[in-house]
Copies of this chain bind each other. A is one copy, B any other.
Amino acid sequence: MRNSYTLTIGNVTRKLPLVWVSEELQIASFVILGDAEIVVEAASLISDKLPDADFLVTAEAKGIPFAHEVAKLKGMPRYIVARKSVKAYMDEPLVANVTSITTQKKQTLVLDGPDAALLSGKRIILIDDVISTGDSLRALEALVTEAGAEVVARAAMLAEGDAAARDDILYLEKLPLFPAE
């Protein structure tokens, strides 16, 4: 029985451990946080695929270094980060609560008021490390749409499971799921 999956993005290869997330399913665990090398490689590869836009928008925490690196490559001095809760520094925060279709878990995402104002009427790209069930992406899209932004692309390093068949996202590599045999 396999216990790891070998992922290659451009010139970077990682052996991802398989972890059980239920009695029926293992997933390949891809930890982007701290992996500067794979982020730099993936950002360089995805930058060429992205359409013109005013801002990149991601959600904390795992999307942050990837959004940072892509923003740099696209010559954008800033990107927007949706937080998972209202923070003390925020002014008139915009909050979206989205219930996961698959898990029924409620997810909260928050934009600081000035960031929401900045996005109004702008063309934006949603960016994340992995798109899997699509729940996180849907929550982020609900939030930026409420802020008045137009989503012109949805991008990720990896599309996991069924997400690989979506034609409304841009990604670099597929990440399979590993059902129990």
Contacts and interface: CB of A to CB of B under 8 A. Distances in A.
Interface of A: 17, 19, 21, 29, 31, 33-37, 39-40, 60-61, 64-65, 68-69, 71-72, 76-81, 83, 88-89, 91, 112, 115
B37 A88 contact: no
A85 to B, nearest CB: 11
Given A61-B61, A72-B40, A78 B19 contact: no
Contacts of A88: 19, 21
User: DSSP class of A's interface residues: helix, strand, loop or mixed?
Assistant: mixed
A115 B33 CA distance: 11
A159 B113 CA distance: 26
A28 to B, nearest CB: 10
A90 to B, nearest CB: 9
A91 B17 CA distance: 10
B31 A89 contact: yes
Contact of A36 (B77, B89, B115): B77
A103 to B, nearest CB: 12
Q: Which 9 A-B pairs have the closest CB atoms?
A: A37-B77, A33-B81, A65-B68, A29-B89, A61-B61, A36-B71, A60-B61, A64-B64, A34-B81
A154 to B, nearest CB: 19
A35 B64 CA distance: 11
Contacts of A83: 33, 61
A64 B88 CA distance: 19
A3 to B, nearest CB: 12
A24 to B, nearest CB: 15
A36 B76 contact: yes
Given A60-B60, A68-B69, 5 more contacts: A19-B91, A34-B79, A37-B78, A40-B72, A61-B64
